Amino acid sequence: MHIHILGICGTFMGSLAILAREAGHRVTGSDQHVYPPMSTQLESEGIELIEGYDPEQLQPAPDLVIVGNAMSRGNPCVEYVLEKRLAYTSGPQWLHDHILPGRWVLAVAGTHGKTTTATMLAWVLEQAGLSPGFLIGGIPNGFERSARTGSTPFFVIEADEYDTAFFDKRSKFVHYQPRTLVLNNLEYDHADIFPDLAAIQRQFHHLNRLVPASGQVIFPAQTPSLDEVMAMGCWSEQVQTGLNGVGEWSAHLLKADGSAFEVYFRNRLVGKIDWQLTGLHNVMNGLHALVASRHVGVLPEQSALALSQFSGVKRRMECLAEINHVFVYDDFAHHPTAIETTLQGLRAKVGKESIIAVIEPRSNTMRLGMHQKRLMESAQVADQIYWYQPEGMHWSLDSLVEKSSKPATVLTAVDKIVERLVQQATPHTHIVIMSNGGFGGIHQQLIQSLEAK
């Protein structure tokens, strides 16, 4: 079968393309901008990529068109598909129909930490010899690619609450029918499609309704937004997690930065994790991966050992370079809470050493001006903050500078940010670049300029 994917270079659609190719299909696809690392990964799989949406790419007609959720009415290829009545579906629906039947699906949902926790979970199962399939919205260290079919019933998936397609406004994750479900956390996000938190909670409730009675829902205790979801109805075993004695499964910090902690089950020590990661958010991510692994039979001691060897995920507080004791990090920040917890973890690790945060508020929610006060507060752990004002933003970042308790500057050009950083960086400075996009190639520009200096 010839499958053509519209919007193929997104992390989800690119991963889905790999699964379709593994299933024996001829796979082609197109995107507005075809760029690495996804383009490189896809080309290495023998998948033909086309830049742009000229309908000629659909001639002769493929057997099936998979439409990404970034596609909308008015797109030339979408209009051609509808006009010519070509067979089409969404990515999540195709997964539901062709990859997930008969699988034990372990899904990771929540506002934050989905990619990291799903990668941890796949890593633990792999180290336990369970050879899981997976689809992860990022490039996981320790694996060759972002998706694979796997050779056992187990399948790990990053379960996103964003909508499915222009013709299916349900959240993606309602197509996955998990047996093991991790709900990392829940905050208001995606202001472009959800009017309020209650609308997101309704989608999480729909997800809960799909977990069988023999399944398990894992979530942090004392989280009001998730407690309200559970109160809507849950027909599966509920497992609560927490820190320092809270929850059935609890993490007890051995180091303040979260780089070492013990895991207790009903007040009994079952494992110790000593790893490269920092931050309370990663402690909870790791705890959830361990508990989910236990549901499929992996002993906590095995999971703890595997997590102690876990090297992280690309673009999740990834240290890109150290130049004369100046450290440059890349972090996929999409929400004020993600910014805050990441910087707090770094502060706990480096103590009084200088931290410079460079932030592009690129997510739809932040660009629309949601969480302005929280956004300003989220970066106050840093010693210096540079805010990047992108084109087309509906509000001015100057308001964040006016109310900031730390030195803060708004700049509109990447080269100007790099110039300031190079001037300011001294030994033992930690520069954290935070964006859920490419940020104009600032990472390599900065590294090259620091090396030249």
Spatial distance between the Cα atoms of 105 and 165, rounded to a whole number of angstroms: 22
Q: 32 and 61: one domain?
A: yes
Q: 258 and 346: one domain?
A: no
DSSP letter, residue 140: B
Spatial distance between the Cα atoms of 212 and 89, rounded to a whole number of angstroms: 26
Select from 61, 47, 53, 57 the least CA-distant residue to 15.
47
pTM: 0.79
Residue after which a domain boundary falls, among 281, 308, 335 = 308
* Residue 360 near residue 399 (C-beta atoms within 8 A): no
Tell me: the pLDDT tens digits for 60-109? 999 999 999 999 999 999 999 999 999 999 999 999 999 999 999 999 99
Q: 281 and 343: one domain?
A: no
Q: 436 and 338: one domain?
A: yes
Tell me: the pLDDT tens digits for 230-246? 999 999 999 999 999 99
Lowest mean pLDDT among 32-36, 247-251, 391-395: 391-395
Q: 341 and 360: one domain?
A: yes
77: helix, strand or coil: helix
Residue after which a domain boundary falls, among 308, 339, 362 = 308
In a domain, 396, yes or no: yes
How is residue 263 written in tokens? 């895991």
- Size of the chain, expressed as the number of residues it contains: 453
- Over residues 322-339, the mean pLDDT reads 84
Q: 113 and 245: one domain?
A: yes
Q: 302 and 353: one domain?
A: no
- How far is residue 149 CA from its own chain's centroid? 20
Select from 428, 406, 231, 400 the least CA-distant residue to 323.
428
Q: 135 and 254: one domain?
A: yes
Q: 69 and 212: one domain?
A: no
Q: In CATH, what number is assigned to the domain containing residue 270?
A: 3.40.1190.10
Residue after which a domain boundary falls, among 59, 93, 127 = 93
Tell me: the pLDDT tens digits for 266-323? 999 999 999 988 889 899 999 999 999 999 999 999 999 999 999 766 667 788 899 9
Q: 134 and 184: one domain?
A: yes
27: helix, strand or coil: strand
Q: 32 and 177: one domain?
A: no
In a domain, 19, yes or no: yes
Domain ranges, residue 54? 2-93
